[in-house]
């Protein structure tokens, strides 16, 4: 029996633990939190006041044969195959999978900790998202400035989703004509990937949202209610909704060279092995993989690692497949891979419904129950095939805004 230790019981760690064959692997999940959060739900708590159940007991999500240890990994000696936990326990393993995700770190931007403490945010906790919902409800007009403070963002479409849902909120409250909405971004366009920007930017413009590109947030001055960028620009705000920078887990690694300056694990983009270390893999948000930080990525990476542990050929192709809520009952997906450009997928009502369905499907997908469906679905929506199908359907036509 091979002892596999998975550090981190989030989306990727849980899926992998439930996938590995119990006849071949003795699997332990070590995770800092007893609760598992459905993170995409934070968006709806913050912008729609949703009260759905976002937290579940991690133990209840793991198959019975999987061992569960609630503790924080403090030090990981990758040469000796030992994990030292915060409570003083030592765990040994034959193979390790690092799945510790990323966390927000507002302290990197002067003034941001105070802003997040006052107005909340939608990338950390349910409490912070509820605070943002209260801030939105206290808003009576002025400028809502929303954006990401660093290029790395958990769920790249989430800034666009946030500003579109904020626009929908003020419109429904009758405040639209008293509200200026600004989306700021360090990228040169509203959505980082150009083909998808051609779908998203017209929608933002149509809804009267101003786009402030190349705005690298440098500091926030609460006294004058201004945000300043490294480039020397400024945005005046009344309600600031700022996505903080992110960092990897606070773990001491031996060797220390396995993490970069943001504490992301340096991971081979194809094999998902931790660079330079035997029997060590990494997946999900906590890696430096050049792909979207999204649950779908963690899911697909977990499958690749499961195959590699089984001794089968296994390569990750960088596939991304992020649902995007465009508000107004519309949705789309950002679909691409290392080798296929993101497909400019036209919005539709069914895609919006699929995004909303995620809240239910998520818990089943963690158990691996829906894997045959996902195998089919991801193959059917492979970016190359999807691009060909779209080209056939839309030959000579403009993409319709709504289907
Ligand atoms: C607003 C928002 C909207 C989103 N929308 C989507 C979407 O539509 N589609 C999509 O695919 N994704 C979406 N995501 C992103 C998705 O939720 C994450 O990408 C995904 O959860 C990452 O999975 P992970 O396994 O890498 O990390 P996580 O799920 O974050 O899990 C990390 C785990 O590691 C544990 N941990 C951390 N440090 C330690 C330690 N030292 N020792 C032990 N355990 C530790 C944590 O407790 C946690 O359990 C969204 C995220 C947000 C915030």
Note whether 2-101+249-309 and 106-246 share their fold: yes
Q: Which atom of ligand 1 is nearest to the CA of 297?
A: 11
Q: Which atom of ligand 1 is nearest to the CA of 74?
A: 41
Q: Cα of 130 to ligand 1 centre, how many Å?
A: 19
Query: What is the enclosing helix (H) or strand (E) of 217?
Result: strand 217-221
Q: Cα of 26 to ligand 1 centre, how many Å?
A: 24
User: What CATH architecture is 2-101+249-309?
Assistant: 3-Layer(bba) Sandwich (3.50)
For the Cβ of 323 lying below 6 angstroms from any atom of ligand 1, the answer is: yes
User: What CATH architecture is 106-246?
Assistant: 3-Layer(bba) Sandwich (3.50)
For the Cβ of 13 lying below 6 angstroms from any atom of ligand 1, the answer is: yes
Q: Which atom of ligand 1 is nearest to the CA of 14?
A: 25
pLDDT per position as a tens digit, 257-269:
999 999 999 999 9
**Tokens at 228, concatenated:** 């300043």
Q: Which atom of ligand 1 is nearest to the CA of 85?
A: 42
Candidate of 17, 31, 251 to mutate for ligand 1, largest count of ligand atoms within 8 Å of Cβ: 31
Yes or no: say if 378 and 300 are a contact pair by the CB < 8 Å rule. Answer: yes
For the Cβ of 344 lying below 6 angstroms from any atom of ligand 1, the answer is: no
**pLDDT of res. 403:** 38
Measured CA to CA, the distance from residue 133 to residue 309 in angstroms comes to: 44
Candidate of 10, 12, 299 to mutate for ligand 1, largest count of ligand atoms within 8 Å of Cβ: 10
pLDDT per position as a tens digit, 107-164:
999 999 999 999 999 999 999 999 999 999 999 999 999 999 999 999 999 999 999 9
Measured CA to CA, the distance from residue 26 to residue 17 in angstroms comes to: 10
**pLDDT of res. 402:** 46
What's the per-residue H, E or C state across 214-281? Answer: CCCEEEEECCCCEEEECCCCEEECCEEEEECCEEECCCEEECHHHECCCCCECECCCCCEECCCCCEE
pLDDT per position as a tens digit, 207-257:
999 999 999 999 999 999 999 999 999 999 999 999 999 999 999 999 999
Measured CA to CA, the distance from residue 358 to residue 172 in angstroms comes to: 25
Domain map of the chain by residue range? 2-101+249-309, 106-246, 320-393
Q: Cα of 99 to ligand 1 centre, how many Å?
A: 9
For the Cβ of 263 lying below 6 angstroms from any atom of ligand 1, the answer is: no
Phi, psi of 96 (to 5 degrees): -125, 145
**pLDDT of res. 398:** 54
pLDDT at 396 over 80: no
pLDDT per position as a tens digit, 158-192:
999 999 999 999 999 999 999 999 999 999 999 99
Question: For ligand 1, atom 23, which residue shows the shortest CA distance?
Answer: 11
For the Cβ of 41 lying below 6 angstroms from any atom of ligand 1, the answer is: no
Question: For ligand 1, atom 50, which residue shows the shortest CA distance?
Answer: 40
């Amino acid at each position: 029996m091979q002892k596999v230790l998975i550090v981190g019981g989030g989306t990727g760690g849980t899926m992998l633990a439930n996938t590995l064959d119990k006849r071949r692997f003795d699997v332990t999940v070590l995770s800092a939190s007893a609760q598992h959060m459905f993170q995409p739900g934070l968006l709806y708590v913050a912008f729609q006041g949703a009260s759905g159940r976002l937290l579940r007991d991690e133990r209840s999500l793991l198959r019975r044969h999987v061992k569960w240890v609630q503790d924080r990994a403090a030090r990981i000696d990758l040469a000796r195959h030992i994990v030292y936990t915060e409570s003083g326990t030592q765990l040994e393993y034959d193979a390790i999978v690092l799945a510790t995700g990323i966390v927000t770190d507002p302290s990197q931007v002067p003034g941001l900790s105070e802003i997040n403490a006052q107005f909340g945010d939608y990338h950390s906790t349910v409490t912070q998202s509820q605070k943002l919902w209260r801030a939105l409800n206290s808003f009576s007009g002025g400028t809502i400035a929303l954006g990401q403070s660093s290029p790395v963002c958990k769920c790249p479409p989430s800034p666009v989703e946030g500003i579109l849902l904020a626009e929908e909120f003020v419109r429904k409250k009758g405040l639209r004509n008293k509200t200026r909405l600004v989306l700021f971004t360090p990228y040169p366009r509203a959505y980082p990937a150009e083909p998808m920007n051609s779908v998203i930017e017209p929608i933002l413009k149509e809804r009267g949202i101003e786009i402030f590109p190349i705005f690298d947030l440098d500091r926030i001055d609460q006294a004058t209610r201004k945000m300043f960028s490294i480039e020397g620009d400024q945005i005046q705000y009344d309600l600031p909704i700022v996505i903080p920078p992110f960092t990897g887990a606070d773990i001491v690694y031996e060797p220390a060279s396995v993490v970069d300056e943001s504490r992301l694990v340096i991971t081979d983009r194809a094999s998902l092995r931790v660079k330079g270390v035997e029997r060590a893999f990494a997946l999900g948000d906590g890696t430096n993989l050049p792909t979207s930080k999204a649950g779908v990525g963690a899911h697909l990476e977990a499958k690749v690692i499961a195959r590699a542990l089984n001794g089968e050929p296994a390569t990750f192709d960088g596939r991304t497949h992020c649902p995007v809520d465009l508000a107004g009952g519309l949705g789309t997906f950002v679909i691409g891979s290392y080798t296929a450009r993101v497909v400019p997928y036209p919005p539709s009502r069914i895609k919006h419904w699929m995004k909303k369905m995620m809240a239910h499907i998520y818990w089943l997908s963690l158990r691996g129950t829906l894997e045959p469906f996902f195998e089919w679905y991801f193959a059917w929506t492979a970016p190359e095939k999807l691009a060909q199908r779209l080209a056939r359907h839309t030959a000579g036509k403009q993409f319709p805004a709504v289907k």
